[in-house]
Structure 1
Amino acid sequence: MRTLQTATRAVHGVSQHHCLRLKRLWSTRIQLMTASAGVSVKAAALGNGFCHMGDFARGYKMTFGEAPSETPARGRRL
């Protein structure tokens, strides 16, 4: 366990928990940008392991600088 934590910090520069959270946030973002209009933000977040929508939205906005609800519109414009 400790070796994995040390390796994650050495390679990515962040804790294992933070690295996994970023991967889940990015996965949700990609899903929101590429999904059809039928996929809700809540469904995408739950599908990527986020249980508390408030924490998810706060982390998403801190990471990407926009609310999760703004991302699907951005994806359709690209």
Structure 2
Amino acid sequence: MTFVRQLDLIDIGKTRVGIAVRDYIRAFTQRSRWSDDNLLLPGEISKYERRRAWTLCQRSRVVCSRTPPGRGGLTVAQQGA
């Protein structure tokens, strides 16, 4: 998984990587159920993913800017923002 390699690069720790993988699998499974049960409108998942990605980006900038160097955090400047 690409995102696991990315998490390893910022050294967040095995526990947090495990939680991220678990959450990814749960979200994927839930979206699949919604799709299989025809509970989604056309384009709804794409719209949701874009909104979610934007929100996570904003939150990560705050978290990373508050994490001391050497603790797995990047400053906003290091993130390329």
TM-score (norm 1): 0.34
**Greater share of helix:** 1
Q: Which has the larger radius of gyration?
A: 2
